[in-house]
Chain A
Amino acid sequence: MTLSLSSRLDLAKSSSKKILVPYITGGLGGDWLEVLDAVVAAGADAVEIGIPFSDPIMDGPVIQEASQRAIESGATPSSILGALAKQSFGAPLAIMTYFNIVHHAGLERFAGWLDEASVGGVVLPDLPIEEMGEWRAVGKAHGIETVQLVAPTTPDSRAKMLCKEAEGFVYAVGTMGVTGVRSTLSESATLIGSRLRGFSEKPVLIGIGVSNPQQAKEAARSSDGVIVGSALVGRLLAGEGPDGAFKFVAELRSALDELS
């Protein structure tokens, strides 16, 4: 049974609980499914799982390295989704990947894989709304929600349109730049959070450059929650495994819960 992003995240939003969505790279290490279980157990409201792509232009060095390692160890779109299909998880799942992976598999076939893996949503950072029509029709027919990204450079009129079109949640790009760990939270993160919350009924989550519990808390003050990727994946690359992932996500969770 597929858990949709909306079902869980809308509920969290309406109960004023801050939302936490960790990101992990699919197929990174032999224990990535245990990592997934650990982050859910540590309090993730949903989990973003990356299907690695050879040319990830929105990703900084950490996710690049994770992607390359996963690809080299044999991870493929079907191996990752096939593994997810064999298990169920206590939180909705979203796939994050680049559009060529979807395009090459074939839109209908890819949506079928997501369906079988009980994946509720997708984030496709290089597929802007203007190019998204065909995918959205296919995704919708399979009950898959497509998240929209909104950037600090997105003008208000376009941001309103994107918030209206968004399914699952609105991915508020916290800083102008690629994914990665930053020592301080960008000012643009809080600005975009409060700007989009005025436009969106869907939860607004801030991602990119949210790197530790303190920053997560700061970002969540002006939004409905956060997405944390590189800081977590960096720990996995360093060999911290499911235990390290659990500990870090639990810290993020308790920082966010201080705001609830």
Chain B
Amino acid sequence: MNVMGRPEKRGRFGEFGGVYVPESLIAACSELEEAFESSWVDPEFRSEYYRILSNYAGRPTPLTFVKRLSEKLGVDVFFKREDLNHTGSHKINNVIGQALLTKRMGKKRIIAETGAGQHGVATATAAALFGLDATVFMGEVDVKRQELNVFRMKLLGTEVVSVSSGSKTLKDAINEAMRDWVANVESTHYCIGSVMGPHPYPYMVREFQRIIGDEAQAQFEQEIGGDPDFVVACVGGGSNAAGTFAGFASKENTRLVGVEPLGGAAIGRGSPGIVHGMRTMLLQDEFGQVSEAQSVSAGLDYPGVGPEHSFLHSIGRAEYYQVNDDEVLEATMVLSQSEGIIPALEPAHAVAWVLREAGKIIPNGSKVVITMSGRGDKDASVVAELLKDRLA
């Protein structure tokens, strides 16, 4: 049985998912669902999508065996190199798909939320490439800590709106993007950056990201043979993890591991709730008010998680663990100095878990694929501040 197949009616993954949006957005969700369903089985749409990912974004990305780290840990570690994509992360895979859909639906404007700025930069890039107007919503806290990406978006011709409501991070940027969408739904497509939101987004974004897992699976089989023992990816909303898992979900001997930040562990520390159009695991207080996540990584600073992850967790097909900010910084140092790869803080969570669990949860000699979802340039100023004593 394919546990990562099509969701049930109205985007249900077990008891999670659904379409919890105001009536004003119902027609837009249906329109998007129809556009996606018809496009995804249209060979012309697919070939256009793959062509752009190949000759513009630089796919396929390599699967890199990281030798020194592997020797140190006693397990064979491979990185799926999404950090080598144009714009520096896996976010471009989804955005190219949604930009093509935007054109197909005849819309002229695209909006997005962003936490770390990677999805915002990818959206700004696609908007420039396709000649769309773009507005990106970003929490005020994130605007400050991801200065470089804010500048990149502006340079690409996108309007960046700093959001000062609530916790001033990713969840509030999503609220504001949804409010803009309600007001401008006829001209505007909301390009959600992760496997979250109302149906069809969690399903659609996973399909646009499954190229990560499908490629990695084929590369592993061809270059190493067989299946990996572990596939590990970081989880905020969970798009790189969902895309990666999709390529391996049918491999019964492969354990799927999602790594959450300790301060934003919707699965590890949350309970079922409804926010941003979906029913999913959510950090919330005793009254149902959504809690603020706390993470060094702006991209994972989110109190919810994609509903399919809640489902994979509920049936035990994927496992979810947490790492803390110190472990993440340590992993960033180790990886930079043993492999010459400076990771973004988000995938550094996945690396941190493997560093901690090699020889424990991960038996010696295991083969482990980690999705290196983005490169670390954007985090340079944050990391420089946090590591200033150690790198003096």
Contact = CB atoms under 8 A, between A and B. Distances in A.
Interface in A119-134: 125-128, 130-131
B152 interface: no
Contacts of B182: 57-58, 176-178
A55 B276 contact: yes
A229 interface: no
Contacts of B279: 103
A161 B318 CA distance: 41
Interface of B: 10, 18-24, 26-28, 165-166, 171-172, 175, 178-179, 182-186, 272-277, 279, 282, 284, 287-290
Given A57-B276, A101-B287, A128-B23, 20 more contacts: A55-B175, A55-B275, A57-B22, A58-B179, A76-B287, A77-B287, A100-B274, A101-B288, A103-B274, A105-B287, A126-B22, A126-B274, A128-B20, A128-B22, A151-B22, A151-B23, A152-B24, A153-B27, A153-B186, A178-B183
B287 A149 contact: no
Contacts of A155: 27
Interface of A: 53-58, 60-61, 64, 68, 71, 76-78, 98-101, 103-105, 125-128, 130-131, 148-155, 158, 162, 173, 176-178
A54 B21 contact: no
A177 B273 CA distance: 25
Contact of B273 (A103, A125, A131): A103
A56 B276 CA distance: 10
B179 A178 contact: yes
Contacts of B272: 103
Contact of B175 (A57, A105, A125, A154): A57
17 contacts: A54-B289, A57-B22, A58-B182, A68-B166, A76-B287, A99-B20, A100-B284, A100-B288, A101-B288, A103-B279, A125-B22, A128-B26, A153-B186, A154-B26, A154-B27, A177-B182, A177-B183
Contacts, number: 113
A98 B288 CA distance: 10
A78 to B, nearest CB: 8
Nearest to A65: B165
Given A104-B284, A154-B26, A177-B183, A131 B165 contact: no
Contact of B185 (A76, A99, A149, A176): A176
Nearest to A154: B23
Nearest to A53: B289
A16 B277 CA distance: 38
Contacts of A127: 20
Nearest to A98: B274
Contacts of A178: 179, 182-183
A58 B10 CA distance: 21
